[in-house]
Each structure stands twice: as structure tokens, then as C-alpha cells.
Amino acid sequence: MSFEYKDWLISFDDYAKVRKDGRPFGDNTEMASRQSKGLNPWDENCKVIYHIGGLDSMRAIRTQFQKTIDDAKKATDLKIGERGHVYIAGWRLNPNRDISDNPIPVSEAEDKKNTIWFWISELMKAGVVVRIMLWLPLTTKAGFDSHINAHIYAAQLMAQLNSEIMSKINPTPDDDIGVVLLDHRVAEIKEPDKAAHHQKFIIIRGINGKGVAFCGGVDLAYTRRSAPGIKGDWQSGNNIPDHTRNIDSNIIVPGRAGNDLHAGCYGLERQIWFDQHLELEGPIVSTLEEIFRRRWSDNCMYKFVIDSLNRSPFELVEDSVILSSSKQIIDEPISKNLEMGKTKKGAPWVSPSSEMKFDRSAIADNSIQILYEGKEVIVDKDSKRQANAEITIKERYGQLKPILDFHPIFNYNIIRKGNLKLSYKRKIIKDLPVPLPITSKLGSSVVQAWQTIPLRNKSRKGIKENGMDSSPYSRGEFSIMAGLAKASKKANEIIFIFDQYFWDEPYARLLSNLLSSKPNLYLIIILPPHSDSQEKLLIENSSIQHHLRFNALITLDQLPISGRRKEICSLWNFTDNDNHSRGIYVHAKVQVFDDKLLVCGSSNINARSYTTDTELSCAVYDQTLIRNYYGDLWNYLFAQPIPSSINFDMPGWGKVFFDEFTKKVTYNWNNPTTNLIVDPWYGIDGLLPNSQVRHNRSGSVGISIGAPINNPFGLDEKIKDDIKDAKGHYIRQVRLDDIVDRLENFDDKVWRIPQ
């Protein structure tokens, strides 16, 4: 195998110029932790299959679920819970999402067998362990009320199903067969309700450690399952079903999911959604499983357990998780010897201002033991000195709440020479097993996992151990941003981008610089023809999204470019007579660099994906696979084979590809040739093929730009300051590669948002 992939993927030496600790990868995340072991931060000998479209992606997931279920049912010699496991991480999951191939609803009995919840249930009934980790919004703004209801419903369903299955197993296993974790351990931005977990990946490990993973842009949610030939997703628009449809349960769920897309552009029925996903086998599966495991057990302040029928026992609060089972919250014993100092007179002492943090619920359970000179000391809440120990310990905390991981402060003052030892318990989330390594050589792809792990508050109560934040994510990881910058600078032929929210001006400046300095480099960007805003936020949110896009696209013209070497397109359905002319929503987050690197994941090209939301993308180096991808993509978009004039072995093939591709673009909407249209982004208002007006700039409808609402920045804004010389004179505006370098060359404290 050629080792050229090392030039395209991130190595720690690329960015560890000063601190030598692997940033912007973080210190303890999966890829970063390999540095101390002398291992490469990527996985070789992997097998990768790309899936274009939600239908194909869900079919592949369903196929792997079925294989796992069949194998588990045959393994009668293994106990329930020992027949493999499935981990699902998602931004959104609707339990009754139809993942079948059926283009239309069928009988009610058949529909029940097509839902994602049916497949989850069948996995668990076959003895496969299931863990589902879903983002939980803290606000009902922006239409997230249905999002919250769907995920709480999933947790309640899991609590019921797990209890039902566990009651039939004798003896009862020590662990749950199925658990849902609702996650709001998010970035430390000033308004945390605007931060999200956006990762979309699945780990499937069967008997004997066999494994497959999925990663990309596809949520197991409404509107996502569409492809050519099925005329859109029947679970979309006005046909989005009630939360409980086709699921046998007595759980009451308020409301119903709203329309995902703008009706004026995408219609009200069978909306068409374009997405992409990767199916992966080989060592990368263990890597992704470890990423899931570390995020699952990351500590936080608040831990709630949901009741299967009652929504009231929890709160929507920052730095919290909601679990479907109390078994997943366990006690961790802690024992500490308090260090003694010396005064100027030589008397041993500990300052009264010294602080020790405890678990609040542990206090309620009387699980703290304090020893002075080997004898137990009782905590005196009235601060009355205990004469025999000559020690003062004062409690400071408010009302107790069960199962929450609070950490009140004890001030202690040792009056005379002696040793003080404290033993206590804190509540933690039960860890998942360490993944089994996969060493089989299954393919020719080299895969590197890129992440955004936002900065978390290092002073969170209960997280510090020995003065250090014990969370593996305390320093963050920004390898998506770093990888994108490096791959873009490496490309010489073409950069091909699909994106939902192309909003990032620093990246646009980098692309502008590359197009200006590399006369043989070409750029194609495919975006949705209209924002995804729901009706109640239609005018304001749509306008803001379009304005952010406009600012990024116009930045591409910041530097002069020789010839026509960039094209901005959208997808439009002209041929569906049943639903008339309407847009195709581009949700895919894919970047292709020459014929060398394919990146597919959850990350969009904007500040929130780079710095604020938890994201995961897989960068795949495999020239044969990427050339095949171009061919299959061409056939998907145009229903034609890729032209023979495109010879990837000939220098300059990027120009030929670009010229042939742009011939397919529809400029005259009255005489469409393909579903690819030139995007009308350049004016104040853009006119779409169905005469729908798209407001490209907020000012055109009198709305102020609320960029932070859509695009929060998880670092100090100073990191985006202009580039200046040693004397402070302006040179140019910051690019994405500059932000990466600044992240690497300064301690993370410099770039944390001021509190």
C-alpha cells in the first residue's frame, strides 16, 4: 500500500508545534490517546461502502440488524446479553421511523414491523445488548418540542421493554439489556441550549466480535428515507405520523412532530431529501466504538432516571443526562488523604479555605467517612468543634435531590498535628466494556475518525480529581476543522462539497486563496435550494440561514480567480408530476478532495460544527473507492454513466470533470435537462424554479441577523481576529487554517469563552 495517505490525513506532528500534546485533537480522546502508545492515529485495512440516499442507507442498516438477530438466535449456548451489542448515537431518532423499502404505507400489522423501534426490540429479544445515546434539547424553541417528546418517548419505551425482557430471564442479569441515555453534556457556551450533540453513528458487534459501523449524515428520523424512484419519503410533511403510531404502548406523548422542511419549496407531501452515509468494517469499528464508550460515561453534574409512564421526575437542565434505568448510575468509592502544609513557625496545618468536593446524593445516604488519626469523625452540621479530634468541618449545601451528582464544599481546619482522611462515594454513569480490537485485513481503505468535541467547563463540580478534570473531553478535540483545512490545501484537481449549512467565512477565505493560487484547481458546491425552517420560524430563521450562506459564498470571490473554476448548485425535482416542481433538500455532509480523500459525517461547514456541537466524520483514503464513488454519484444525479473523457490517471482530469459536470447544470428552468440547477445565491432575493422567492439576505425582509442563534461559536471570538504583522499592522482576514494554528500554538485557556 502506498503511504501517500499520511500526507492527506492528520498526523500529530502537523499541529503539535509548541505543546507537543496532540492538539487540536485533545489529550484523551480516542485518536489522540494513540500518540503516547506510538500508534498511528488512523486505521488501515478497512472495508468501506458508501451509501447515496437515505433509502439505501437504511436498507444497509436493516440488513446488518437482521444478520445480528439471526446469529444471536442461533447462539443458544450464550447467555442473554452475551450475544453481541448495538450502540446508536443520534441527533434525532423517531421510534416509528419506517426503515423498510416500501414506497407507501402498507397494512398496520406490516407497518409495525418496519419501524426502527421494531428492529431495536427484536435485537433485545434475541439477547443483543442495545445502548442508544440521543441529544436532548433544553429548549422548545426552533421546533424542538417534538424533538424532545420523541426522545423522551424513546427512553420511556426502552424502560418498559427492558423491564419486560429482564423479568423473563432467570436468573436476572446484573446489567440491563437495553438503555437509552438522553444527553445534554454540551459545550460551555454562554447559552448552552444552543449547543447540540450532532453525531450520527451506529456500532454493531455480533458473535465473536464481528463488527460493522455506520457513520454519516443520516438520522433514523422522519423525512430522511428518500431516493430516486420512490417519489420522496411518505413519512414527511403533512404525513408525518403521531409519535405512537404503530407502537404498542400505553405511554402518552404530547403533540406530534412538525414539518421538517419549508413547504413553499419542498411541498407538503413526500418531501425529497438527499443524504449520504458510510458502512465500515475493520479496525475503524473498534475506534468508533471507543468514541461511543467514552462519550457514554463522560461525567456530569445531574443524572436523572426516567419513569416509564411519568415525565415529571426529571428536569431539562444544563450538564445533565436522563437514563432509562437506575442500574446505570453506580457508586464510585473515593478515598483521599488531605495534604498537610507548614506555617512559618513549622506547625503542620491545612488552611480553612481548602476545599473538598463530595457527591451530594452520597451525603444523603450517609456514605461519607472522615478519619482523623485513624478514628472516625462525625460531620457536625452546626460547626461545633469535636474536642477529641480538635477539627472543624462545616457543610455547605442546599436542598438534596436524588440521584443528582452535586458536589457541596467542605471547609476544614486542622487545629493540631494529625492526618485527615476522607472516604466517600460519588455517582457515576456505569461504563461500557472496552471494545475488542479488530485486526483482520478486510479492505484497502485507510480511515481516520475526525471529531468536534467542544470545550467543557473545567470547574464543573464533581469532575475534578486531584485538581485535574477527569473528563476525557475537558480539552476538546477539533480534528474536523484541522482535517478539512489540511485536505483542502493538499488538493490540486478538484474539491467537491455537499453541505446543508455552508456558512463558514474563514473556510471560504481558505478556498478563495487556494483557487487564486492554484490555477488548475476546481470547486463544486451543492447546497439545498432553501433552508429547512419550519413554518413558525419561517421568515426569520430562513432569512438568517440564507444570509449566513450568502456571506460565505460571496467570500469565495474575495481573491481574483482565473477562468470559470467554481460552480454553486442545488438539486431540484422537475419530473415528478404527482408533486409538481419542488426542491430536493441537500442534507449530506460530504467533501471529496481529488480522487484521494472522501470525508462523510455529521459535520457541516460552519462554526457550530467546528467548535460547538459534538460531531463525527470519517475521512477515507482509498483511490479506487473514490473513483467508483464519482461514477455512482454521476449515475445517481444524472441517470447516466460518468463520461469516458474523464481519465483520473491523466493530470488535469479535474478540469475535464468540472467541464463535463457543469454541462449537466440546468440554467434554463423552462427547459430542464437534469435535477441539478445553478443556485440563485448572488442577489438580494433569489427566484427558485417554482417561482418561490428566497430571501438571500436578512435585510431584504427587515430582520436583524441573529447568526449566533444558528451558528454559535464555541471558542473565544478573539481566535478569529485579523492576521497582523509583528508591529500590529493588518495583513488579511483570518482563514480556517489560521484558526487551527492558533488553537495549536496556545494553551486552551486562551481560547475558552470568557465566563
Average pLDDT score over residue span 476-501 = 95
Highest mean pLDDT among 11-20, 228-237, 722-731: 722-731
By DSSP bridging, strand 320-323 and strand 409-414 are: unpaired
Say what the pLDDT of residue 743 is: 83
Task: Indicate whether 100 pLDDT > 90.
Answer: yes
Q: Give the pLDDT mean for 162-185.
A: 90
Tell me the CA distances in angstroms from 81 to 130, 154, 603, one per residue in order.
Answer: 9, 20, 33
β-bridge mates for residue 204, sequence order: 86, 212
For the record, the C-alpha cell of 711 comes out as: 451558528
CB neighbour list of residue 21: distance below 8 Å, 6 or more residues apart: 27
d(CA 564, CA 1): 36
Q: What is the DSSP letter of 609?
A: I
Beta strands in 613-707 (DSSP E): 615-621, 676-678, 685-687, 693-695
pLDDT given at position 338: 55
- Reading the block at residue 88, the C-alpha cell is 446508536
| 513 pLDDT more than 90 | yes
- Please compute the mean of the pLDDT values over residues 292-318 and round it to a whole number: 77
Return the minimum-mean-pLDDT range out of 199-208, 222-231, 398-407, 512-521.
398-407
CA-closest candidate to residue 385, choices 349, 366, 413: 413
Domain limits of the chain? 5-24+444-459+466-745, 43-324, 329-429
Average pLDDT, the chain: 81
464: pLDDT strictly greater than 70? no
Summarised one tens digit per residue, pLDDT across range 401-444 is: 333 333 333 444 444 445 556 666 677 899 999 999 998 899 99
Place of cell 480553612: 352
Cell of 555: 467570500
pLDDT at 709 (0 to 100) = 56
pLDDT of residue 312: 58
**What digits encode the pLDDT tens for the residues 553-575?**
999 999 999 989 999 999 999 87
Residue 680 preceded by cis peptide, ω within 30: no
Q: Which of 390-404, 456-470, 513-527 has the highest mean pLDDT?
A: 513-527
Q: Mean of the pLDDT values across residues 662-674?
A: 89
Residue 105, pLDDT > 90, answer no
Beta strands in 442-521 (DSSP E): 445-453, 464-465, 468-469, 477-478, 494-498
In this predicted structure, what is the pLDDT of residue 317?
Answer: 77
Match domain 5-24+444-459+466-745 to its CATH number in 3.40.50.1100, 3.30.870.10, 3.40.50.150, 3.30.70.890: 3.30.870.10
Q: Look at residue 254 in the predicted model and tell me its pLDDT.
A: 74
Max mean pLDDT among 3-7, 63-67, 295-299 falls in: 63-67
Mean pLDDT of 382-386: 36
pTM to 2 decimal places? 0.90
pLDDT of 383: 35
Q: What is the model's pLDDT at position 336?
A: 64
Nearest to 209 by CA among 286, 279, 124: 286
Q: Which has the minimum average pLDDT: 71-75, 236-240, 374-378?
A: 374-378
Please tell me the distance from the alpha carbon of residue 151 to that of residue 316, in angstroms, as a whole number: 13
CA dist 595 → 216, 489, 600 (Å):
19, 14, 14
Q: Are 152 and 306 in contact (CB under 8 A)?
A: yes
**390: confidence class by pLDDT, cuts 50, 70, 90:** very low
Who wins on pLDDT, 394 or 577? 577
The 3 state secondary structure assigned to 339-407 is CCEECCCCCEECCCCCEEECCHHHHHCCCCEEEECCEEECCCCCCCCECCCCEEEEEECCCCCCCCCCC
On the question of a common fold for 5-24+444-459+466-745 and 43-324, the answer reads yes
Give yes or no for residue 65 having a pLDDT over 70.
Answer: yes
Which CATH superfamily hosts domain 43-324? Endonuclease Chain A (3.30.870.10)
Question: Is residue 341's pLDDT more than 60?
Answer: no
Tell me what pLDDT residue 315 has. Answer: 67
**Of the ranges 248-257, 305-314, 647-656, 665-674, which is most confident?**
647-656
Report the C-alpha gap between 426 and 413 in whole angstroms. 23
